[in-house]
A and B are shown apart, each in its own frame.
Chain A
Amino acid sequence: MTIEEQFQHKIEEEIKIEPKDWMPDKYRQTLIRQISQHAHSEIVGMLPEGNWITRAPSLKRKAILLAKVQDEAGHGLYLYSAAETLGISRDEMYHQLHTGKAKYSSIFNYPTLSWADIGAIGWLVDGAAIMNQVPLCRTSYGPYARAMVRICKEESFHQRQGFEILLVLSKGTEAQKKICQDAINRWWWPCLMMFGPADEQSPHTAQSMQWKIKRFSNDELRQKFVNMIAEQVKVLNMTLPDPDLRWNEERKQYDFGKINWEEFWNVLSGNGPCNKQRLDARKKAWEEGAWVREAAAAYAEKKAMKAHTQVA
């Protein structure tokens, strides 16, 4: 067996690949790109929700939202450290994000216009994320799989708190019902886009399937998500903004309308409503934090030197 065959054999036997094991360059590159961009998405994803922390309607909601956003920061960190095991530095990853070389999920380039958006994000955006992340717990690269297990444990609270926000609004005043429906209308289609293009348009995912980095196709996961949400929305007494959505008795699945891929590629290439704002916020945080990083490093060095002279 060649070394490549041995590698593929391990993958087929469901033996995890660990950092020091031999792996094809392409596998390493694919993973670095995927894990780092997944990390960026967690970090940028804090921004739309952060927008409502100071304006949450009650102290309870504020505490919950703070905890949720803090979790997302943690998710970013678990993933950055998993990517670092493949030989890329943290600073390099930040650099790629700040210069626009690395992408992040297009969903975070949409604005959060009302409090109901926080509910819709938890229910739909985190819901779509969970759909994708649960199979990633069994992905072939050990550190990535372990990070995903940790993340998935924390995600279910995110989705539930979002649904609960909408549930309260759906039983409220006419104005509250209205913002609830409006948020669902605006977030629904971008959430379906989170799963990526239709399978026949993304033949290259085949390689990632063979390496068991990815385990289900984009369309399979999207369909599962639609089936789940189409039922849950009834509990809210709200509707999804799709006239073609209906149960197909033969397929035992929901049929749904066409996705506007034009919009998707547009947002991904930088022309979404908030792309510039999001990236500017990340760069500003990085640049304005420079003095903190330097001061802490200088302090640590001074302390280490002191300890050294005391020993000597």
Chain B
Amino acid sequence: MIGEYGTKYYYGDYGEGKGGTPATSSQQQTQEEMNSWPLWEVFIRSKQGLDHKHVGSLHAADAQMAMENARDVYTRRNEGISIWVVESKYIHASNPDDAGSLYDPANDKAYRHPTFYNLPDEVKHM
């Protein structure tokens, strides 16, 4: 029996079914799949005075449903007092490959940090 699934098995990963690796078999896109509800990103403000923070995503037909589902999925234990939902397709993300050219220039500008400046000890509270 072991051979049938390979020996790979641990919590959360239960090996492969008879049809081969489930993850890599690419199905024909069904009609239903093309009609499926869009993906939304959910942001939650956990308490007054804090920023909204990304918590995950969900599928919903429209904004109202996204909001209701976000409440049920992400705030069952008072995790938030305010929810933003935005359809995932409207998010533009920077490319991790560009991280160097985007953020490196900041590295050689140490003078942007207060610790760059040596002041005499007599100067207090600055």
Give, as a whole number of angstroms, the nearest-CB distance from A130 to chain B.
Answer: 11
Inside 8 A of B23's CB, which chain A residues have their CB? 29, 32-33, 36, 88, 96
Residues on A with C-beta less than 8 A from B6 are 204
Give complex CA distance A10, B56 in Å.
24
Chain B 71-88, CB-CB to A under 8 Å as 1, else 0, gives: 011001100000000000
Q: Is there a chain A Cβ closer than 8 Å to B35's Cβ?
A: yes
Stretch of A55-63, A98-106, A182-190 with 4 or more beta carbons under 8 angstroms from chain B: A98-106
Contact of B12 among A29, A88, A132, A197 (CB under 8 A): A132
**Contact of A37 with B by CB under 8 A:** yes
Q: Contact between A81 and B37 (Cβ–Cβ < 8 Å)? A: no
Complex Cα–Cα for A22 and B95 (A) = 11
Count chain A residues whose beta carbon lies closer than 8 angstroms to a beta carbon of B: 73
Interface of B: prevailing SS: loop
CA distance A187 to B115 in the complex (A): 61
Whole-angstrom distance from the CB of A51 to the nearest CB of chain B? 22
- A88: chain B residues at CB < 8 Å are 23
Q: A92-B27, A293-B37, A296-B65 are in contact. Are A194 and B14 (CB under 8 A)?
A: no
Given the complex of chains A and B, what is the CA–CA distance between A66 and B1 in angstroms? Answer: 37
Centre residue among A37, A129, A136, A303 by max chain B CB count within 10 A: A37
Cα of A18 to Cα of B24 in the assembled complex, Å: 20
Count the B residues whose beta carbon is within 8 Å of the partner chain — how many? 49
Complex interface: chain B residues within 8 A of A102 (CB):
17, 22
Digitize B40-65: 1 where CB-to-A-CB distance is under 8 Å, 0 elsewhere: 00000000000000011111011001
With contact pairs A103-B15, A300-B62 given, residues A202 and B8 touching in the complex (Cβ less than 8 Å)? yes
Tell me, rounded to whole Å, the shortest Cβ–Cβ distance linking B90 to chain A: 14
Known: A29-B24, A266-B1, A293-B37. A136 touches B12 (CB 8 A): yes
Report which of A70, A146, A266 forms a contact with B76, defined as CB distance below 8 A.
Answer: A70
CA distance A293 to B30 in the complex (A): 14
Question: What residues on B are CB-neighbors of A106 within 8 Å?
Answer: 14
Which B residues are closer than 8 A to A by beta carbons?
1-2, 4-27, 30, 32-33, 35-37, 39, 55-59, 61-62, 65, 72-73, 76-77, 93, 95-97
Give me 18 other A-B pairs in contact (C-beta within 8 A), A90-B36, A197-B7, A203-B7 excluded: A20-B96, A29-B21, A34-B12, A91-B33, A92-B27, A95-B27, A101-B25, A102-B17, A150-B55, A150-B56, A154-B76, A218-B11, A268-B15, A269-B4, A269-B5, A293-B35, A296-B37, A300-B65
- Provide 24 A-B residue pairs closer than 8 Å at the C-beta atoms, listed in order of the A residue: A22-B96, A33-B13, A33-B21, A37-B14, A77-B73, A89-B33, A91-B30, A103-B14, A103-B15, A105-B14, A132-B11, A150-B55, A154-B77, A195-B11, A202-B8, A202-B10, A204-B7, A218-B11, A265-B5, A269-B1, A293-B32, A296-B37, A297-B35, A300-B62
